[in-house]
Amino acid sequence: MANNLVILESPGKIGAVKSYLGSNYKVIASVGHVRDLPKSTLGIDIDNGFAPHYINIRGKGDLIKELRKEAKNADKIFFATDPDREGEAISWHLAAILGDDAKKAKRVTFNEITKSAVKEAIKHPRSIDMNLVNSQQARRILDRIVGYQISPFLWKTVKSGLSAGRVQSVATKIIVDREEEIKSFVPQEYWTITAELKNQNKQLLVHYYGGKDKRLKIENKAQADKILADVNGKSFVVDDIKTGVKRRAPQPPFITSTLQQEASRKLNFQSQRTMKIAQELYEGVNLGSEFGGVHGLITYMRTDSLRVSQEAQVSAREYIEEKYGKDYRPEKPRVYKTKSNAQDAHEAIRPSKVGFEPSLIKKHLTNDQFKLYKLIWDRFLASQMSSAVVDTVVADFENSGHIFRASGYTVRFKGYTAIYTEYNESTSTSDEEQFSFDKNNKLPELSVKEGFDGNNVNAVQHFTEPPLRYDEASLIKFLEEKGIGRPSTYTPIITVILSRGYVSRDGRFLVPTQLGEIITKIMAEHFPDILNYKFTANMENNLDTIESGKVALETVLDGFYKDFKKELDKAADNLKNESVEVPVEETDIICELCGSKMIIKNGRFGKFAACPNYPKCKNTKTLDKDGKIAESKPVEKAEFKCELCGSDMILRKGRYGDFYACANYPKCKNTKTIEGKTEQKCPKCGAEIVKKQTKSKKQFYSCTRYPQCDFSTWDTPTDKICPTCGGMLLEKKNRIQHYLYCHNKECGYKMELKDENK
């Protein structure tokens, strides 16, 4: 019997892939990259063709040993990492650590984790695509050179710990530039006039339009008053009636950027949350015995291609005809044109199986999974449906040479809007193009020369508004339009500039901090190419040409570095003695210990108020989202006293769970772990699991029948069931890792989790 080894990138896929391939296949995961550039040095030999020096990632020693052991015992090895540049590079690094055993290895990819896709991929293995690998390496090397060679200038000039990045610096500049637009915006006055028209049988509201031949803008009160004087007390007469038919075609299925944008608008999801949930849907969800266990529910979620497989089109069209009728299915399948700079390596984001209707599988999904899956499913089905058809009417009313207008519509055919509509408050279409397909906006029957009396003719003053700040959706849209970044980088870009403190959140909007503005100013003065939109977009295109095999990696890097080195040398001279002070943000909060006005600081968990006299005074206060002192939670005391000093014992939260600590800390450092029953049952014998502590007061869990039953664990038992073997899933959570894994070591199931606040 053949012994085949399949190495995935994410442990979340193991259960699904293993169930599709059977007992002849051992399936394990690399859990992302196994090698990378060293953190302590540049790791690039610039003088020797930009040769990178890779090292094994710290903490992955045991995993690498396991991978080598399994590879040695395997007859065939399949690298099944993600189907993109990053996944290809991970496969290449895996081949490097496996040494001679890598000769048995082949590369396989699947765009969706379904039985047919996985089996088909195994039937058609290929060699590692070095063009894809070199494209990823070029990006990594470029980012390393920019980050490691510019950041020291920021340390000397501003403060230590800062960083610059090839794309993160551009993204920060975009947000800084928008803030400058808002600050320099000068409001322009304009007026609108409305009138309520009525005759014996009809009434309607009309808006001032202008003259007979063109639309006019009312710029001041004098103009508005003149129009009011002209029309008040006089009749409005129907001057012209235009009828028409508007057809509205559906939007294409999602790509990464449009999914992030629509999830932000409709579901209020941040991009990181969207991609986390999409990853879960792609890797597989256990739908129970009713649907045959674990299934990947969507295709690969990092893509900029609008291509859809013929099989998926046929499936969608059959579903549409059966569910809605022939009129809702267009004569020919809809095909959407992908942008010229798209990689087109994968399909658009779509459900892997149309038959998995969101309502049918809802009970097997989390609330977030259901919302995002329904959004993807609805959008894809709608993209293959007939256009919506609307009958429109525009009526012009004349009074004293002035034209007032009313418009209306009736929905003739809902088409794709029976499933999905992308129209919402963020859509920038005009009133005449904005339709609600759930109801009509019908005007009364009108005829030319028909007269109306004008009532409540009102003029209202307005002022133009400054442009909105970017939120995640609009920033991603801008990055995509300018060709900055690629589907896999949008979320990391936003995450980095927020974590570095260059940008902060104000509700859903992104606002530059003073630090972000200072960094952008320095970068613009000394490294203008790095902040140039066209330069950055052109570099993305160069990476694409490496992927296509048209240009060598060294050629692109050398072309970049020649000019970059000149900027570095020039900056070294100009910034020798320059120093920039980051202004502190003062608050009205008075430090009760020393009387100083507290200042705003950024920490791991957001902004907080701190005494400016640190370290002499270490007073801090937690702030809420409005910048005010957050209300402290009431102290929860234990029923017992500290056995060392007699003080109260207070409930605290720690990395290993809740515990009691002496209120007299730090004078008394006594702590006590909370022991007691849990709601979980032992996966080995069914008895209760209890929480205990070691002599060193570290918390653990064990079966009440211990040692007769040997179940014990440092990690938290959960009520979640392993999708692979049906065992109990344990939760591992600390500062650097958060995942679920099966209690059964032979199973090996593991699923990475991410905290929303990280």
Contacts of 495-502 spanning 24+ positions with Cβ under 8 A: 495/272, 496/165, 496/168, 497/168, 497/171, 497/172, 497/175, 500/162, 500/163, 500/168, 501/602, 502/168, 502/172
Q: What's residue 721's pLDDT?
A: 78
Q: What's residue 428's pLDDT?
A: 39
Collapsing DSSP states into helix, strand and coil, what is residue 238? strand
Domains and CATH numbers, the chain: 4-128 (3.40.50.140), 138-185+469-574 (1.10.460.10), 189-249+390-463 (2.70.20.10), 256-383 (1.10.290.10), 586-622 (no CATH), 637-672 (no CATH), 673-752 (no CATH)
Are the C-beta atoms of residues 637 and 650 closer than 8 Å to each other?
Answer: yes
Please give the Cα distance from 267 to 229 (Å, whole number).
48
Full DSSP string of 375-444: HHHHHHHHHTSPPEEEEEEEEEEEETTEEEEEEEEEEEE-GGGGT----STT----GGG---TTS-BPPP
Please give the Cα distance from 712 to 684 (Å, whole number).
10
Lookup: tokens for 457: 């003719």
Collapsing DSSP states into helix, strand and coil, what is residue 721? strand
Q: What's the distance, CA 104 to chain centroid?
A: 37
Cβ neighbors of 288 (< 8 A, separation 6 or more) are 364
Lookup: tokens for 607: 């902004």
Please give the Cα distance from 325 to 246 (Å, whole number).
22
Query: Residue 26 class from Cβ within 10 Å (0-12 exposed, 13-18 middle, 19+ buried)?
Result: middle
Q: What's residue 697's pLDDT?
A: 61
Q: What is the length of the chain?
A: 758
Are the C-beta atoms of residues 74 and 26 closer than 8 Å to each other?
Answer: yes
Which residues is 729 bridged to in the sheet? 742
Collapsing DSSP states into helix, strand and coil, what is residue 262? helix
What single DSSP character describes residue 645? T
pLDDT-flagged residues of the chain (< 70): 1-2, 340-345, 422-439, 603-606, 625-627, 632-633, 654-657, 674-675, 677, 695-697, 735-736, 754-758
pLDDT tens digit string along 263-286?
999 999 999 999 999 999 999 888
Please give the Cα distance from 44 to 592 (Å, whole number).
52
Are the C-beta atoms of residues 113 and 296 closer than 8 Å to each other?
Answer: yes
What single DSSP character describes residue 700? E
| Cis, peptide link before residue 615, omega less than 30° from 0 | yes
Cβ neighbors of 285 (< 8 A, separation 6 or more) are 294, 295, 297, 361, 364, 365, 369
Confirm whether 148 is a catalytic residue.
no
Q: What's residue 615's pLDDT?
A: 85
Q: Of the listed 209, 282, 300, 502, which one is catalytic?
A: 300
